[in-house]
Amino acid sequence: MRTLFKSVITLLVLVYLSACREVYEPEVNQLDQRVLVVEGYLDSEGLKSELRLSKTSELGADSSPSPELGASVELISSSGATYPLVEEGDGLYVFQADISKENTYHLSIQLSNGEQVLSDPIQPILTPPILEAGFVKDEAGIEVFVNTQGDENADDFLWTYEETWIFLPRVRVTFIYKPGEGVVNRNDDERIDLCYKTVRNAGVLLETSSRFEDQVVFRQTIKEFEEGDPRMQKRYSILVSQKAIPQDAVEFWETLKRNSEDIGTVFSPLPSLIGGNLHFVVDENRPVIGQISIGVVQQSRIFIDREEILPWEIFTPEFDDCFIGTDTIRTSMYGQTFSSGAVLPARVVPGPMGPLGYFTTDRRCADCTLYADREKPAFWID
């Protein structure tokens, strides 16, 4: 009884406090609400690298960061050579060059409004190779891991990854309705039953090799999957990128890691302002978020087939209400039923002289292009 009484009192106190709570809206200078964010790690040996420019969301906004368009970005060597980055749209700027490891570099960003951002001097780092990349399965699920070894020049590591998997809809549909033709078989260009979904990691994975004997980082966890994860419904791939970072970058990434774990995303909006190695040329006190490093990016790709991890039951509760209907849609009803595209012909209803019509399903249950891309990635191995 005493425990129950304490629980009731606690509940009443919480209700009272929540009823008295008022929304706190701090006064923030409008200029400070839209901060430039620079994301990227430039590979020094010719691997295509991406630099992303954006502005943080305003406080209280639900929108994502807005891309910074029309900027002029280049890498400037201490030898005087310049390497321009190519804008590809949506705030993305691409760098691809084999540069000297002996020189230092500055990243220069000229914004569309004429303002200039410049980085501190950057020294390229030779990232040690990934010694092993693999996965293990146990009763809890699957763990993707890497092994590596640091050295006197590369002690701190940052890992990123890109996942790609085959996305299969709940209902497989091989028919399509075409006005004037009726219901016909889909050709290869019209398939909607096999897609490929690609996602990049949003968190921050860090480790310091000097914490371990001989600087060997063993079984660094990259990604974990719980039993039933639908990404393993057929074939899954993960590309792991290993990047050595300088000591002065560790604090930035550790702060970013804490913030991203607190609010669920990396850059928008941040609960506290993070610095980095980039500054406005005219006003160095004006904030810029970003820590740019240059070095060799070591990569390893892992494929996981569902057959390798069986038994593995797939859980997709968002499609649990998907089914094939039992009402026959006859020829005279094709246009009325299928012309909007929201309902699809799913199964033939056979008759003595040919099809009597079709059973139907909702498009969201059968069209993988609503969630992923139909084009097979160039790296994909069947």
How buried is 19 (Cβ within 10 angstroms: 0-12 exposed, 13-18 middle, 19+ buried)? Answer: exposed
Q: What is the pLDDT of residue 257?
A: 84
369 or 9, which is more confident: 369
List, for residues 35-54, the tens digit of each pLDDT value. Answer: 899 999 999 999 999 999 99
Cα–Cα distance for residue pair 71/114, rounded to 1 Å = 9
Identity of residue 59: L
DSSP-assigned letter for residue 96? -
Percent of the chain with pLDDT over 90: 77
Q: What is the pLDDT of residue 32?
A: 52
List, for residues 118-176, the tens digit of each pLDDT value. Answer: 999 999 999 999 999 999 999 989 999 999 999 999 999 999 999 999 999 999 999 99
Tell me what the mean pLDDT of segment 224-243 comes to: 97
Highest mean pLDDT among 18-27, 41-50, 63-72, 259-268: 41-50
Query: 292: pLDDT confidence band, cut at 50, 70 and 90?
Result: very high
Torsion on CA atoms 306, 307, 309, 315, rounded to nearest 10? 40
Q: What is the pLDDT of residue 17?
A: 39
Tell me what the mean pLDDT of segment 69-91 comes to: 97
Alpha carbon 226 to chain centroid, angstroms: 18
Cα–Cα distance for residue pair 380/311, rounded to 1 Å = 24
Query: 16: pLDDT confidence band, cut at 50, 70 and 90?
Result: very low
Predicted confidence (pLDDT) at residue 89 exceeds the cutoff of 50: yes
Are 56 and 309 within 8 A, CB to CB?
no
Are 137 and 229 within 8 A, CB to CB?
no
Q: What is the pLDDT of residue 273?
A: 57
- pTM recorded for the entire structure: 0.85
Picking from 77, 98, 220, 109, the residue whose alpha carbon sits closest to that of residue 159 is 220
Q: Which residues contact 223 (CB under 8 A, 6 or more apart)?
A: 143, 144, 161, 163, 201, 238
Query: 7: pLDDT confidence band, cut at 50, 70 and 90?
Result: very low
Percent of the chain with pLDDT over 70: 86
Cα–Cα distance for residue pair 343/325, rounded to 1 Å = 10
Q: What is the pLDDT of residue 350?
A: 94
Q: What is the pLDDT of residue 4?
A: 32
Q: What is the pLDDT of residue 220?
A: 97
Q: What is the pLDDT of residue 65?
A: 75
Predicted confidence (pLDDT) at residue 11 exceeds the cutoff of 80: no
Predicted confidence (pLDDT) at residue 31 exceeds the cutoff of 80: no
How buried is 26 (Cβ within 10 angstroms: 0-12 exposed, 13-18 middle, 19+ buried)? Answer: exposed
Question: Could you give the count of Cα atoms lying within 13 Å of 334 in the half-sphere of its Cβ?
Answer: 20
Picking from 306, 134, 139, 161, the residue whose alpha carbon sits closest to that of residue 236 is 306
Q: What is the pLDDT of residue 63?
A: 57
Q: What is the pLDDT of residue 95?
A: 98
Alpha carbon 9 to chain centroid, angstroms: 44
Query: 24: pLDDT confidence band, cut at 50, 70 and 90?
Result: very low
What mean pLDDT, rounded, does the chain reach?
88
Are 58 and 7 within 8 A, CB to CB?
no
Residue spans of the domains in the chain: they are: 29-124+246-295
Are 292 and 278 within 8 A, CB to CB?
yes
Q: What are phi and psi of 369, to 5 degrees?
A: -70, -10
Q: What is the pLDDT of residue 262?
A: 58
| H/E stretch holding 276 | none
List, for residues 345-370, the tens digit of each pLDDT value. Answer: 999 999 988 899 999 999 999 999 99
Q: What is the pLDDT of residue 203?
A: 83
